[in-house]
Amino acid sequence: MPAGLQIKAPGDTLGNVVDVSATNPLPISSTVGGSAVSNSNPSPTASTPTAVAGNAIVPVTAVNATSLVVKASPGNLYSGSMVAGATAGFLVAYNSTAAPAASAALTANLTLFVVPVAANGFAAIGGDSIPDRFGVGITFLFSTSTTTYSVPASAALFIRGKAA
């Protein structure tokens, strides 16, 4: 940090300033999960394993399907995957509460991910620690086109999604 950097003291209404440097970092004050967070007690950055069912995200799955409604309302997508059958196509993450009609146009503002899937292949999306936000709903499509919902001759063997 540049020498002599000063900022307004957190929570101060009188205009006092605090010197900030590598040896005197910006003071923080907050709580996470009821525990005080400070420079000497930082916020946790890793998930801890749990056996509590209420703390888990239950995946949604479909077998021999061409679409899967992962969440029928706005939500966060954590991950998704697909195993294709004999037909190659695309795993499309669509911002919708239902699959469009066959041959309907896939609008760009609702198509949030498109991942190619080889015949008898596997594709995955997500898996980041920060989920992707879907403002309408989360529906996965298996399509042979990226511009229209072209239902393939053979369905995907398996489709899976995790959302909250």
Which comes out higher in pLDDT, residue 3 or 103? 103
CB 137 within 8 A of CB 96: yes
Tell me the C-alpha to C-alpha distance, in Å, between residue 122 and each of 47, 69, 77, 89.
27, 19, 18, 11
Tell me the per-residue pLDDT of 85-123, one tens digit each, with 9 for 90 and over.
Answer: 999 999 999 999 999 999 999 999 999 989 999 999 999
CA–CA distance, 98 with 71 (Å, rounded to integer): 9
**What average pLDDT score do residues 151-155 get?**
87
CA–CA distance, 47 with 18 (Å, rounded to integer): 33
CB neighbour class for 25 (10 Å; exposed up to 12, middle 13-18, buried from 19): exposed
With H, G, I as helix, E, B as strand and everything else as coil, classify residue 53: helix
pTM score: 0.69
Rg (CA), the chain: 23
Domain parsing of the chain, residue ranges: 5-37, 60-163
CB 80 within 8 A of CB 91: yes
CATH architecture label of 60-163: Sandwich (2.60)
